[in-house]
Structure 1
Amino acid sequence: MKSAKNVMVCVTQQKTCERLIRRGAELRDAYEGQLFVVHVTQEGWNFLGKSKEGDALEYLFEKSKAHGANLTVLRSNDVLTTLKEQVEKNNIDIIVMGEAGGDYEENSIISSLGKRLHENVIFEVVPAKLKKKVV
């Protein structure tokens, strides 16, 4: 019998993050855990001041809700520490993040966050675009 695993999906205010939430829901269902969707923004940034950003967050809220997760929006000047706190608070086993531009680099947010967490936390990186299969 597999043990339940909690999943945290890290999103930005882009509507393209729906694919991350969908993948998080798949993992949650496979491991019978809970799903947490988290967005961290810098303190002082007016992320709801622009209608496009507000629309994007509303969209992410609706997609999170549709997949049985709450969207948590946090303000922090230390994004990595805030994400680490969410991992610890919610007993996260798997973190879903989108693929950043370029290759996996030593100074990427995934690498930096991974160094702060216990070794049992798994990162699932979702590609920006699905690559077509060559038949």
Structure 2
Amino acid sequence: MYLNSKRNILVCITQQKTCERLIREAANIKSDYEGELHVIHVAKNEWKFLDNVKEGEALEYLFKVSKSVGANLSVLRSDDIVETILDYIKENDINFVVVGKSKEMHKENNFIKTLENNISNVEICIV
């Protein structure tokens, strides 16, 4: 179990409907604690995900899933995705992050490892 009763949880998602499982897992974790549930998708500036019908539909679906569990989905644009997430963690007093398994094989490029190396006092749950 966790050390304190307040958990501000951040779910990091991509523009895929399968990220619903991450949101639902975070909602289950949050149900035992006070705090807020945040869902975030960071897109690089040059990505035109809203022009892609499939990706736009996926984000709209994930927005509805987020709302159904009492969270807001924030879509941010940045060329430095990890730095943007780290800033969001600090600005919103996040102490628990839910992410999906990274497909990146090289340690230096691994999103999860980069997060772990740059945040302290934040627990990461890999789903």
1:42 counterpart residue number: 44
2:55 to 53, 56, 65: 53
1:124 counterpart residue number: 125
Structure 1 unaligned segments of length 5 or more: list them.
Answer: 127-135
1:104 Cα deviation from its structure 2 partner:
8.8
Bigger Rg, structure 1 or 2: 1
Give the letter aligned to residue 94 of structure 1: F
1:85 Cα deviation from its structure 2 partner:
0.7
2:64 counterpart residue number: 62
1:74 Cα deviation from its structure 2 partner:
0.3
> How large is the RMSD of aligned CA atoms in angstroms?
1.7
Q: Which deviates more, 32-41 or 22-31?
A: 22-31
Q: Distance in 1 between matches of 2:105 and 2:25?
A: 21
1:108 Cα deviation from its structure 2 partner:
1.1
State the percentage of identical aligned residues.
46
Q: 5 Å matches for 1:1-135?
A: 2-101=4-103, 105=107, 107-117=109-119, 119-126=120-127
Q: Distance in 1 between matches of 2:107 and 2:83?
A: 19
Q: Per-residue displacement from partner, 1:92-126 (whole Å, max 9, x unpaired)? A: 01000001237794541111112111x21000000
Q: Distance in 1 between matches of 2:110 and 2:104?
A: 10
Checking the alignment, whether the CA contact within 8 Å between 2:102 and 2:112 is kept in structure 1 is no
Give the structure with the larger helix fraction. Answer: 2
Which secondary structure does the structure 2 equivalent of 1:36 belong to?
Answer: strand
Give the letter aligned to residue 69 of structure 1: A
Q: Distance in 2 between matches of 1:33 and 1:11?
A: 20
Structure 2 unaligned segments of length 5 or more: list them.
Answer: none
Q: Distance in 1 between matches of 2:79 and 2:30?
A: 29
1:132 counterpart residue number: none
